[in-house]
Amino acid sequence: MPNMREIRERIGSIQQILKITNAMYLMSSSKLKKARTSLECTEPYFYKLQSTIESVLEHTPHTRQLYFDRRADIPEDKRKKGYIVITGDKGLCGSYNHNILKYTDQKLDEAADLDNCYLFVMGQVGRMYYQRRINSGKKASVDGEFLYTTQNPTLYRAREIAELVLEKFEKHELDEVYLIYTDMINSNLQEPRTLRLLPFERKHFGKAADGTLKKLPKASFMPSPEEVMNYLIPQYAKGIIYGAMVEAFCCEQQSRMTAMDAATTSAKDMIKDLSLRYNRARQAAITQEITEVCGGAASISE
């Protein structure tokens, strides 16, 4: 026979947690609404930017521009790879953080030499995770001064990050830069994705309408391809980082909302189950008491 007081206490504690998860659900759903609108506003820019750059690169003539430098003289395993990883600031959002960190780990495992990997982690959860990893001996250096939150992405923050990364690339502190973020495919499906930011690669051939490869016509660049790229690439980097931030923030809110909704539902289920057991126990106790009283009365009257 389960103890009545024990069950009552458990119901009480579940009710407390239910209040928290429910409040978090409400908050994340209102934040999600905001994040959704900003995502909807930014998405056309984000996708158009990618497709336009792709077509620009198809028409770019040969250039010795800085950001096209593929560092071909450095062997593959000696190249310094930078990863900008966008994670959440807080936990309790289902598998959102877990997925992006697992994906990043996979990318790091693929890299030839962990000592040449540099991580730029946005969001507290990811920072903690990689700090702990360093302490346990697995190396991949994390930039300690790279402190950016993922809450409410702004263009200003994206600009700062882009400038930092481009500067490191110019100084040969990084040879390749990747951006890892969570992409929102639809509201139920989110997937971690990698985008290569640097170096840029010029395309020599494109697919023609009939599927054959043909040499692409070159567009003119005013005043010169180098000069235009000097402006265009920081612009692109900034836009891409901003878009990824918006996308990731929306994903985080979405998965938090889903997780908290699930938690609230299961808390309600548990309370229902427990109160049934509580009532049964109470009924049993009452029945037993009545039996005892009746038994006592019977023995007296005899």
Partner 1 sequence: MAKTFHLEIIATDRVFFSGEVEHLVITAIDGLLGIMAGHEPLVTSLPTGELKYLVDGVWKYAAISEGFIQVMPDSSIILADTCELPEEIDIKRAQEARERAEERLRQKQSIKEYYETQAALNRAMNRLKISQKHFK
Least distance to partner 1, CB of residue 255, Å:
24
Beta bridge partners of 160: none
Size, binding site for partner 1 by CB under 8 A: 30
Residue type, 143: D
For residue 60, which phi and psi values (nearest 5 degrees)?
-85, 130
CA distance linking residue 69 with residue 247, whole number of Å? 29
| Paired residues of 104 in beta bridges | none
Among 223, 300, 301, 302, binds partner 1 (CB under 8 A): 223
* Residue 262 sits in the site that holds partner 1 (CB under 8 A): no
44 vs 295, which CB is nearer to partner 1? 44
Three-state SS at 192: strand
Candidates 36-44, 93-101, 140-148, 289-297 — which segment interacts with partner 1 by CB under 8 A?
36-44
Other CB atoms closer than 10 Å to residue 56's CB: what's the count? Answer: 18
DSSP state of 62: P
Structure tokens at 28: 């994340």
CB of 43 to partner 1, least distance (A): 10
Q: For residue 181, what are the contacts with CB-CB under 8 A and spacing of at least 6?
A: 85, 86, 100, 192, 193, 195, 244, 245, 247, 248
For residues 65 and 231, what is the distance between their CA atoms, to the nearest angstrom?
11
Name the token pair of 69.
Answer: 């430098």
Residues in 147-206 at the binding interface with partner 1, rule: CB under 8 A: 155, 163
Judged by CB under 8 A, which stretch of 117-125, 201-209, 237-245, 249-257 contacts partner 1?
Answer: 237-245
Contact stretch for partner 1 (CB under 8 A) within 18-26, 50-58, 177-185, 276-284: 50-58
Q: Which stretch binds partner 1 (CB under 8 A): 62-70, 101-109, 218-226, 287-295?
A: 218-226
**Residues 299, 251: Cα–Cα separation, whole Å:** 71
38 binds partner 1 (CB under 8 A): yes
**Shortest Å distance, C-beta 247 to partner 1:** 13
Asked if residue 220 binds partner 1 (CB under 8 A), the reply is: yes
Sign of CA dihedral 146, 147, 151, 153: negative
Cβ proximity to partner 1: between 49 and 140 the closer is 49
For 138, other C-beta atoms within 10 Å of its C-beta total: 12
β-bridge pairing 176-186 and 81-86? parallel
What is the three-class DSSP state of 95? coil
> Applying CB under 8 A, which part among 129-137, 216-224, 254-262, 285-293 lies near partner 1?
216-224
Which residue from 231, 295, 298, 299 is in contact with partner 1, where contact means CB under 8 A? 231
CB nearer to partner 1: give 12 or 61. Answer: 61
Name the site residues for partner 1 (rule: CB under 8 A).
Answer: 38, 41-42, 44-45, 48-49, 52, 55-56, 59-60, 155, 163, 217-223, 227-228, 231-232, 235, 238-239, 242-243
